[in-house]
Amino acid sequence: MSNIFIGDKEYFPGIGAIPFEGVDSDNPLAYKFYDANKRIGDKTMAEHLRFAVCYWHTFCAQGSDPFGTDTQIFAWNDAADEMSAARQKMDAAFELFTKLGVPYYCFHDRDIAPVGKSVAESEANLQEVIGWAKQRQQETGMKLLWGTANVFTDPRYMNGASTNPNFDVVTHAAAQVKAAIDATIELGGENYVFWGGREGYFSLLNSNTQLELENMARFLQAARDYARKRGFKGTFLIEPKPMEPTKHQYDFDAQTVIGFLRHHDLAGDFKLNIEANHATLAGHTFAHELQMCTDAGLLGSVDANRGDPQNGWDTDQFPTDIYDAVQGMMVILGDGGLTSGGLNFDAKVRRESVDMEDIFAGHIGGMDTFARGLEIAHNILNSSSYQANKVKRYESFASGDGAAFSAGNLSLEKMRDIAASKGEPVSISGKQEQYENLINQYMFK
Ligand code: XLS
Ligand code: NI
Ligand code: NI
């Protein structure tokens, strides 16, 4: 095993480039299903899945929870000052990206650069760090899937960022978003994300929700206009989440966001970034949220993770449920696959997982889950009767009066006359059990 390191130190010693060894391998640090160059249909696994590692969970969070402090000790934090720590963290990050063999990464401004004492100082810190990132990207071939601004951690954002009742706070959010957009452009980022962490309310009694929503739209329009003026060609993404940290978040779920984007003339420039754990918090499935986006032509990207079936919060666990991944990938493939988006592991290892290799195991498991999910979904869509059955279920709209209705050419009165002349419709089975059995059959085929 050859040592791989970026900069002057190896942060994950004893771990080399993660190989593909197949399902019979007992090596925990090897891919069982993710074989980057294996062709699935007309693309390789790597091209289909476009995996990304996120900076915040993997290199910043250290296992603290509301009841306890950090459990994970990271060598890259051991530095004389914050900028040196940021530099070491970046070297550690690019080492991990390289060893995993992922093509993309994602960050918040505050993940990669320390906050300064003023707007100008924070901008300068970010600028400097972006210079290092650019160099590391050139050296390693890594690409930026998306950048974003953390406008929810700082106490000033406790009442919201773009939806804050105090305009002065809105301007600070603008300063951060402007700098994060600049950084994303500088690094060739393919998307720019808005997750509205505190864009919502805790109490209706003190909230003018109408004004807050209008302000949010104005803010997004201003951000778009600025980025386009600066030549950004990528996609803006809104990441829905129903709650946490606020009681009610405005970007509740996919359909809410789609309506909002269309209403404010943002659809097209903006698409959606669907996170599996946020889908379940909203009372939906991952596949449901993806489907609503593809129906609207607005699926942008994915935060691949999972929640815990018993817990009602964002546990951000690495995805391991292949059944779920299959159903997600069926929707994604049905939409023609990911284009500018990717599968970003917005996931963290458990607080009790304190070994450096655990971080690798989390990513390996997530990548294998989606690789296998991709293969199974591809087989279901291409080798089974699934698609034909679904088309058949709606065949009454393909010809005759049904087609005329679909084309908008049948009035209510005319439909009444058809009902009266044809009599009682035939009862047609939904055959849900057969669809479910088909998925299970292909899971193990
Ligand atoms: C939090 C969100 C966050 C976004 C980026 O729940 O998932 O991590 O992806 O701000
Ligand atoms: Ni996310
Ligand atoms: Ni989340």
* CATH code 3.20.20.150 region(s) in the chain: 39-383
- What is the predicted pLDDT for the residue at 3? 78
In short, whether 239's Cβ falls inside 6 Å of ligand 1 is: yes
Location of structure tokens 């810190």: 125
* Cα(346) to centroid(ligand 2), Å: 5
* Cα(195) to centroid(ligand 1), Å: 6
Residues 325/373, Cβ–Cβ less than 8 Å: yes
pLDDT digits (tens, 9 = 90+) for 31-82: 999 999 999 999 999 999 999 999 999 999 999 999 999 999 999 999 999 9
The torsion angles phi and psi of 126, rounded to 5 degrees, stand at -65, -45
pLDDT digits (tens, 9 = 90+) for 425-442: 999 999 999 999 999 999
pLDDT digits (tens, 9 = 90+) for 330-360: 999 999 999 999 999 999 999 999 999 999 9
Question: Which residue has a Cα nearest atom 2 of ligand 1?
Answer: 195
* Cα(241) to centroid(ligand 1), Å: 9
- Of the candidates 101, 47, 130, 93, the residue with the CA atom closest to the CA atom of residue 378: 47
- Mean pLDDT over residues 272-291, rounded? 98
Torsion of CA 290, 295, 300, 301, to 10 degrees: 10
pLDDT digits (tens, 9 = 90+) for 178-225: 999 999 999 999 999 999 999 999 999 999 999 999 999 999 999 999
Which element (helix H / strand E) includes 186?
helix 167-186
* Cα(286) to centroid(ligand 3), Å: 13
- The catalytic residue among 108, 172, 278, 288 is 108
CATH 3.20.20.150 matches 39-383: yes
Residues 50/341, Cβ–Cβ less than 8 Å: yes
In short, whether 76's Cβ falls inside 6 Å of ligand 1 is: no
- What is the predicted pLDDT for the residue at 173? 98
In short, whether 314's Cβ falls inside 6 Å of ligand 1 is: yes
Length of the chain: 445
- Of the candidates 116, 102, 111, the residue with the CA atom closest to the CA atom of residue 133: 111
Residues 140/90, Cβ–Cβ less than 8 Å: no
pTM of the model: 0.97
Location of structure tokens 């690798």: 360
**pLDDT-based confidence at 270, cuts 50/70/90?**
very high
- What is the predicted pLDDT for the residue at 410? 98
CA-based R_g, the chain, Å:
24
Catalytic status, residue 111? yes
Tokens of 301: 């990207």
CA distance 319 to 300: 19
Tokens of 345: 């592991």
Nearest atom in ligand 1 to 195's CA = 10
In short, whether 148's Cβ falls inside 6 Å of ligand 1 is: yes
